[in-house]
A and B are shown apart, each in its own frame.
Chain A
Amino acid sequence: MARPIVPAIDSFLHEPARLRVLVFLGMVESADFMYLLRQTGLSRGNLSVQMRRLEAAGLVEAAKREVDGRLRTTYALSKDGKAALRSYKETMQEILAAIPG
C-alpha cells in the first residue's frame, strides 16, 4: 500500500489533555502529580485518568518513593513515550507543512 500523502495522526496522543501531559513530561526529566496538575491546568480527576491511560499504554513510567513521610509518585516519559512523542512531532510537522498559505 502506498504511503498516504497526508500522514495519519496518532489519535491516542492527539487527545488534548494527554498531549498536554506528554509535552510537559517531554520537557523535564520527571514530575510529580501535583506539578502536572498545576502546570497542565487539568482537573484532578481528568489528570488521574490520563496518567492511568498513559501508564497502561507504556508511554509513561511511574515511580513511588517516600519524601518527608509522604508517598510521592513521580512520572517520566518511557523510552516508548519519547519515541511516540518524536514521531507525533514529525507527523504534525509534515501535516502543517502540507497546509497551504
Chain B
Amino acid sequence: MKPSPETRLFRAHWQDGTLDLVAGGSVLLIGIGYLFEQMLAEIVVVPLALAAWVILRRRVVEPRAGHVQFARLRRRRSARELLATVVVGIGLGALCVALVLRARAAAPTISDAVDAVPALLVAVAALVAAGLTRTWRFALYALVIAAAAAGAVLLEAGPAMPLLLGGAIVAGTGGLLLARFMAECRRGEAAE
C-alpha cells in the first residue's frame, strides 16, 4: 500500500542522517566500552547522544531544512508507540538478562552466546527506530547488527565486535546522508 503524503513527509523528516550519525556513534562508543570492559558506558552514552542529536538538528539541519511541528495525531501516535516500545524493550531486556543468568548457571560454556546479547538489544532498538521513523534503513541496520552478533558468536569474537561493526556502518551511512543533505542545501541555495 502506498503511504499517505503525510507519512512520506514524516519519513522525509528523518533523511538528513543526523539520527544515524548519532546512533551509530553511540553504538561505536558502547562497543569501545565493551572492548575495554567498561560495560556501563551506555548509561553515559545514551543521554549524551540524545543531547548531541538535538544540538545537531537545531544547529545544522533546521537552519537549512526549516522547522516543522507535525499534526497532533501523528505526535500522539509516535508518543504511544514510543511508550509501548519502552515497555516492551524493558521487558525484553529483563527477559534477556534472566535467560543469560539462567543459562550461565546451568552451563558456564554458554557465555559465547551471551556475547551476542548487547548487539541483539541494539538490533531491537534499531528495529524500534525503523517503526518510529517509518524508515526502512533502520530495519536494515537491525538485520546487519543481528547478523554481526551471530557472526561474533560463531567466531568467538566477543561482544564488542558486532557493536563496533554495526556502529561503524550506521554512523558511516549517517555521514553519507548528512553530506548528501548538505550538498542538496548548497545546490538549493545556489539555484536561488
A contacts, CB < 8 Å to B = 23-24, 27-39, 43-44, 67-68, 72, 74
Contacts and interface: CB of A to CB of B under 8 A. Distances in A.
10 contacts: A27-B5, A28-B68, A32-B67, A32-B68, A34-B63, A34-B67, A35-B65, A35-B67, A37-B66, A74-B67
A84 to B, nearest CB: 18
Interface residues of B, number: 18
Contacts of B62: 34
Contacts of B192: 43-44
Q: Is the interface of B mostly helix, strand, loop or mixed?
A: helix
Contact of B64 (A23, A27, A28, A34): A34
Contacts of A67: 58, 67
A72 B67 CA distance: 9
Given A27-B71, A28-B70, A35-B65, 7 more contacts: A27-B9, A28-B68, A31-B68, A34-B63, A34-B65, A35-B66, A68-B58
Most buried by A among B58, B64, B71: B71
A16 B64 CA distance: 24
A29 B72 contact: yes
B66 A29 contact: no
B66 A38 contact: yes
Contacts of B69: 28-31, 74
A44 B66 CA distance: 13
A33 to B, nearest CB: 7
Most buried by B among A27, A36, A38, A74: A27
Contacts of B72: 29
Nearest to B185: A38
A68 B65 CA distance: 16
Contacts of A39: 9, 66
Nearest to A29: B69
B108 interface: no
Contacts of B66: 31-39
B102 to A, nearest CB: 48
A21 B105 CA distance: 63
B6 to A, nearest CB: 5
Nearest to B5: A27
Interface string B150-192: 0000000000000000000000000000000000000010001
B68 A30 contact: yes
Nearest to B73: A29
Contacts of B64: 34, 38
A65 to B, nearest CB: 11
A29 B73 CA distance: 10
